[in-house]
Amino acid sequence: MNLNGWQTYLVTQESISAGRSTQAIVEAAIAGGIDVVQLREKDTSAQQRYELGRELRSITAAHDIPLIVNDRVDIALAIDADGVHVGQSDLPVSVVREQLGTDALIGCSAATVDEATAAVDAGADYLGVGAVYGTTSKKVAGTKNGIGTDRVAKIVDAVDVPVIGIGGITADNAAAVIEAGATGVAVISEITAADDPTTATQTLAASITEVDHHV
């Protein structure tokens, strides 16, 4: 799988979807051209994530869109996902690799150059880097806590895997993340909380494509 095409990355969180199902949000994002979907839904039970995951697998497979599961290798294996994304407090990348095998995709969150190089050394296929601008999605107060695009650029320089910026990213500020060298951007609320998730995905993708044309 060519991760260099991962320009837009949706992380699911039904609690901010204004009553719409995660299935509906994912379908709308796919219609808008999303490149990859991550099942997160941290606040739900394993059973709920397993059942939702099976539906998302069906939806994403029908459109040849990769599906990544946050944190849990067992749920990823149970729903035949393409891979797992782990944070710094989840199972180590090396353990995940051992359980998933060489073909699976493993992403790891990193906020510093040290975290980024350690994750890649351990076998991560891509990095989720941030929070770039700070975010309210993960209970990080305000936008002042973001690592900023300078840090994104330093991490891009330090590793040889795709970097996906995450945290507070919108169609208005995504271009700066791509200009810093990121392959793509991951969002929750920009798509999930949008009045029209399909249009929101298209607008986000267009803001990135525009940068690409200038590079």
Residue ranges for the known binding site for Mg(2+) are: 71, 90
Write down the catalytic residue from 57, 109, 151, 207: 109
109 given a catalytic annotation: yes
DSSP string, 151-176: HHHHHHHH-SS-EEEESS--TTTHHH
Query: Terminal CA-to-CA distance of the chain, rounded, Å?
Result: 24
Candidate segments 35-43, 96-104, 131-139, 203-211, binder of its own copies by CB under 8 A = 96-104
- The tokens of 16 are what? 């901010």
- The tokens of 33 are what? 């051209």
- The tokens of 62 are what? 């029908």
Give CA 91 to chain center in angstroms: 18
Q: Should residue 46 be labelled a site residue for its own copies when binding is judged by CB under 8 A?
A: yes
Q: Should residue 50 be labelled a site residue for its own copies when binding is judged by CB under 8 A?
A: yes
Q: Are 52 and 76 in contact (CB under 8 A)?
A: no
Q: Are 11 and 38 in contact (CB under 8 A)?
A: yes
Residue 72 CB, nearest approach to its own copies (Å): 6
Q: Are 89 and 119 in contact (CB under 8 A)?
A: no
* Whole-angstrom distance, CA of residue 127 vs CA of residue 214: 24
Q: Are 163 and 8 in contact (CB under 8 A)?
A: no
Residue 92 CB, nearest approach to its own copies (Å): 7
Q: Should residue 72 be labelled a site residue for its own copies when binding is judged by CB under 8 A?
A: yes
Nearer residue to its own copies within complex by CB, 55 or 90: 90
Q: Are 93 and 86 in contact (CB under 8 A)?
A: yes
144 given a catalytic annotation: no
Nearer residue to its own copies within complex by CB, 51 or 172: 51
> Which residues make up each annotated binding site?
38-42, 70-71, 90, 109, 135-138, 168, 188-189
Nearer residue to its own copies within complex by CB, 71 or 190: 71
Write the binding mask 73 to 92 for its own copies: x where contact by CB under 8 A, - elsewhere: xxx-xx---------xxxxx
Candidate segments 68-76, 138-146, 167-175, 195-203, binder of its own copies by CB under 8 A = 68-76
Q: Should residue 18 be labelled a site residue for its own copies when binding is judged by CB under 8 A?
A: no
**Which listed residue (18, 62, 95, 206) binds its own copies by CB under 8 A?**
95
Strand partners, 36: 9
* Whole-angstrom distance, CA of residue 92 vs CA of residue 94: 5
Q: Which residues bind its own copies (CB under 8 A)?
A: 45-48, 50, 71-75, 77-78, 88-92, 95-96, 98-99
Which residues are annotated as catalytic? 40, 109, 138
